[in-house]
């Protein structure tokens, strides 16, 4: 085999190897973006569930009128918030929940009311699931960001036209009175 042919074969093999590697990286990035979409849908579902349960509890008559108004307005604002204001509205709902359920006595009063045990259990589950869903989402965003920062991804535009993933930053600390009790 002439040396020129051998050199061309090695160049072709190297180009195919680089192409396969770039294709694998693009596929990995695509899977990360799909994971972000799935995690965001799960986070949205948990946030909606938390707001819905909060609104149900606020309109049930179990809480005092002031607490009901505070929770209802915060939950309504969280459900109706535009995407650019969503993090703030969800944080305000977390703060309202902590203010209303700052003490165990309030949770016990809810549990003692008719239907209150079920309402308190649903709210406890909802406020516990939001931080987990947010953590899964933000972990997926972090992994995609780290991969997108690599030079090969930028130089070869392996991310295509996908928007740069953004983490969902909010105050999601549950009320101590709800998190101390088993669900």
pLDDT score of 180:
57
DSSP at 54:
H
Model confidence at 183, pLDDT cuts 50, 70, 90, reads very low
Instruction: Return d(Cα 134, Cα 87) in angstroms, integer.
Output: 11
pLDDT score of 52:
96
Name 167's Cβ contacts closer than 8 Å, sequence gap at least 6.
Answer: 137, 138, 141, 142
Q: Are 76 and 50 in contact (CB under 8 A)?
A: no
pLDDT digits (tens, 9 = 90+) for 78-107: 999 999 999 999 999 999 999 999 988 889
pTM: predicted TM-score of the whole model, two decimal places? 0.89
The pLDDT mean for the chain works out to 93
Q: Which has more confidence, 182 or 75?
A: 75
Which has the minimum average pLDDT: 34-43, 85-94, 112-121?
112-121
């Amino acid at each position: 085999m002439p040396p020129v042919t051998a050199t061309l074969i090695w160049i072709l093999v190297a180009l195919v190897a680089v192409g396969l590697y770039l294709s694998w990286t693009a596929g990995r990035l695509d899977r990360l973006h799909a994971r972000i979409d799935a995690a965001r849908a799960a986070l949205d579902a948990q946030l909606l569930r938390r707001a819905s349960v909060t609104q149900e509890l606020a309109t049930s008559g179990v809480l005092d009128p002031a607490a009901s108004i505070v929770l209802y307005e915060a939950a309504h604002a969280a459900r109706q918030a535009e995407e650019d204001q969503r993090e703030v509205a969800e944080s305000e709902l977390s703060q309202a929940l902590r203010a209303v359920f700052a003490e165990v006595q309030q949770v016990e009063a809810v549990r003692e009311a008719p239907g209150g045990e079920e309402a308190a259990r649903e709210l406890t589950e909802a406020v516990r699931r939001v931080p987990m869903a947010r953590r899964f989402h933000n972990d997926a965003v972090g992994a995609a960001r780290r991969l997108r920062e690599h030079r090969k991804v930028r130089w070869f535009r392996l991310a295509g036209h996908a928007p740069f993933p953004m983490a969902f930053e909010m105050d999601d600390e549950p009320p101590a009175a709800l998190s101390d009790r088993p669900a």
